[in-house]
Amino acid sequence: PFFLFVLLFGAVAGLKLEVLAYLAAGLLGTFLAARKLGCGRPASVFAAVVFMFCSWFAVRVVVGHTTFFPFALLPLVFFFYLNSTTAADLPKKIRCVVAAAITLSIMFLSGGIYPFYAAVLLLVLYSLLDFVSMKKIGPVAAVAAILLFALLLSSVKLLPVVDFTSGVAAEK
């Protein structure tokens, strides 16, 4: 989806716009996730600035590792997960699960498998910790629904990847 900038504005300008879009999404997602976790406005702004302007992301941008850009969407996925576990009514829970799955699918479809794996690992571990601390299956069920829906949405790329990698012999 972010590749549309490259298609519309050319390689150089499009890539710069893509970086700005990921930067904005990462800042917004981190701010919202920090607010959801109980941080005040100044602390949430600080968390967003530290997350998106850290050297890790800047180095990836400078050297052109576009497959790592989707890491900026990780806080949005986490924010939607948090909302799906704390929402009072079922329609809002479903909307948050769908939003998390769509964001997770965008991460996978953007070419980065590592950001996708990192997001899945975060969601699974956090939901298991929630399950242990709250003694409720809700967080685990939310992650299962997010992952199922994300796999369905990203199957257009996932199935060819699985097909291709299943025919490759393991290195020795």
Mean pLDDT for the chain? Answer: 91
> How far is C-alpha 126 from the geometric centre of its chain's CA atoms?
14
Report, as an integer, the average pLDDT of 79-96. 93
CB 110 within 8 A of CB 137: no
**Contact between 101 and 150 (Cβ < 8 Å):** yes
Spatial neighbors of 67 by CB under 8 A, at least 6 apart, are 110, 111, 112, 113, 114, 115
CA distance 58 to 37: 26
**Tokens describing residue 90:** 């079922």
**Mean pLDDT, residues 15-43 taken together:** 95
The structure's pTM equals 0.90
Which range scores top for mean pLDDT: 61-70, 104-113, 117-126? 117-126
Structural tokens at position 111: 């070419």
Q: Please state the rounded mean pLDDT for residues 153-162.
A: 88
Nearest one of 148, 139, 129 to 85, comparing CA atoms: 139
* Confidence bin at 172 (pLDDT 50/70/90): low
The amino acid sitting at 133 is S
pLDDT at 33: 97
* Three-state secondary structure call for residue 128: helix
Q: How far is residue 52's CA from residue 34's CA, in Å, rounded to a whole number?
A: 13
